[in-house]
């Protein structure tokens, strides 16, 4: 596996602390630096990030991890992590989908009960084209009719597909898109999985002093206790961090009984319309079928099952 990180660094920081030949300019105020994690430049950026953080500042303002695998690594993997790339608005809440927040975790906001079908705006849905999957900004996953046909044609397991109602006429469903409903037991995320605020800043979670803080004034609002304190590891274990940093390791069975499932734990934050999302795991069988059909709209990584 080859692991590369793309950083977006303010040009003022990059020009002062990095050599001129490192990275490429993106606009006037940003430099994009793409570097393997084994490169000395990566270690230099980590050092600078730590120094800036002690001053309450950030050396970079954006980052992404890219992992690439050999065919042998993919063929021998236990499963694959599926990351939807296509994110769209508006979210279900904005279209009439109702969530009861009183059932949600008082710290991270996970667990709100939905009391309606998923309702979205048919005019704003992405063009299905060759897309397999997409999700709203609130993390509500939807799959294309092509994905549903592929799933049912090959008798794959782990999901049902429900119509999505159109906000313009809730009696009608949106063509070519379906809600993804998971039917397999959830996978439990286990070490050495790591999650954190950014690639160098692993969230240590809430301490006892913070837990004693009064949360009654934020219950029922769109701001979670975790977000208020900048601690994205839920004290109750629902969220494991703001972002997944490492490869995913889960406890469970291999793909004898499932082809798509999700994790018990979530990543992300409850903030406004945003909600933490579980991680999607697919079997090698489904991954190969998606690749053979040249479906788009996702990235995949190796998942380890213990």
- pLDDT range class, residue 216, cuts 50, 70, 90: very low
User: Does any domain span residue 190?
Assistant: no
Q: What's the pTM value of the predicted model, to 2 decimals?
A: 0.91
User: Does any domain span residue 8?
Assistant: yes
Same domain, 13 and 121: no
Percentage of the chain surpassing pLDDT 70?
93
Same domain, 61 and 122: no
Same domain, 30 and 61: yes
Does position 225 have pLDDT exceeding 90, yes or no?
A: no
User: Does any domain span residue 52?
Assistant: yes
CB proximity list for 286: less than 8 A, separation 6 or greater: 151, 156, 259, 260
Residue 255, pLDDT score: 62
Does position 217 have pLDDT exceeding 90, yes or no?
A: no
Same domain, 181 and 40: no
Reply yes or no: is the peptide bond before residue 76 cis, omega within 30 of 0: no
Residue 286, pLDDT score: 97
User: Does any domain span residue 99?
Assistant: yes
Same domain, 180 and 300: yes
Same domain, 169 and 301: yes
Same domain, 84 and 181: yes
User: Does any domain span residue 197?
Assistant: no
Residue 218, pLDDT score: 43
91-136 confidence digits (pLDDT tens):
999 999 999 999 999 999 999 999 999 999 999 999 998 899 999 9
More confident position, 221 or 152? 152
Same domain, 149 and 43: no
Residue 207, pLDDT score: 57
Overall number of domains in the chain: 2
- pLDDT range class, residue 214, cuts 50, 70, 90: low
71-81 confidence digits (pLDDT tens):
999 999 999 99
User: Does any domain span residue 50?
Assistant: yes
Same domain, 177 and 56: no
- pLDDT range class, residue 219, cuts 50, 70, 90: very low
240-255 confidence digits (pLDDT tens):
999 999 999 999 876 6
Same domain, 94 and 144: yes
User: Does any domain span residue 171?
Assistant: yes
Residues 112, 225 contacting (CB under 8 angstroms): no
Same domain, 148 and 292: yes
- Final residue in a domain of this structure, among 39, 68, 97: 68
Mean pLDDT, residues 6-32: 96
Same domain, 286 and 150: yes
Percentage of the chain surpassing pLDDT 90?
86
- Final residue in a domain of this structure, among 68, 95, 125: 68
**Structural domain harbouring 22:** 2-68
User: Does any domain span residue 301?
Assistant: yes
Residue 202, pLDDT score: 81
The whole-chain average pLDDT of the chain stands at 92
């Amino acid at each position: 596996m080859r692991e590369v990180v793309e950083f977006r660094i303010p040009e003022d920081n990059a020009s002062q602390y990095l050599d001129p030949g490192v990275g490429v300019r993106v606009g006037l105020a940003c430099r994009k630096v793409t570097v393997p994690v084994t490169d000395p430049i990566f270690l230099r950026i980590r050092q600078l990030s730590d120094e800036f953080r002690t001053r309450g500042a950030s050396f970079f303002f954006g980052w992404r991890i890219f992992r690439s695998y050999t065919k042998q690594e993919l063929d021998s993997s236990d499963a694959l992590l599926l990351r939807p790339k296509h994110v769209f608005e508006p979210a279900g809440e904005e279209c009439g989908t109702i969530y009861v927040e009183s059932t949600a975790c008082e710290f991270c906001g996970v667990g709100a009960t939905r009391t309606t079908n998923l309702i979205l705006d048919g005019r704003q849905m992405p063009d299905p084209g060759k897309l397999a999957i997409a999700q709203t900004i609130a993390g509500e996953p939807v799959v294309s009719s092509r994905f549903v046909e592929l799933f049912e044609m090959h008798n794959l397991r782990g999901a049902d597909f429900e119509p999505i109602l159109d906000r313009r006429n809730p009696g009608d469903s949106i063509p070519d898109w379906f809600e993804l409903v998971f039917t397999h037991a959830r996978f439990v995320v286990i070490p050495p999985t790591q999650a954190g605020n950014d690639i160098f800043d692993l969230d240590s979670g809430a301490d006892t002093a913070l837990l004693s803080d009064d949360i009654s004034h934020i219950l029922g609002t769109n701001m979670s206790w975790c977000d208020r304190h900048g601690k994205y590891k839920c004290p109750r274990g629902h969220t494991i961090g703001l972002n997944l940093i490492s490869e995913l390791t889960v406890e469970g069975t291999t793909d004898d009984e499932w082809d798509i499932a999700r994790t018990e734990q979530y990543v992300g934050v409850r903030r406004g319309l945003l909600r933490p999302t579980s991680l999607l795991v697919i079997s090698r069988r489904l991954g190969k079928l998606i690749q053979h059909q040249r479906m788009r709209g996702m990235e995949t990584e190796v998942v380890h099952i213990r």
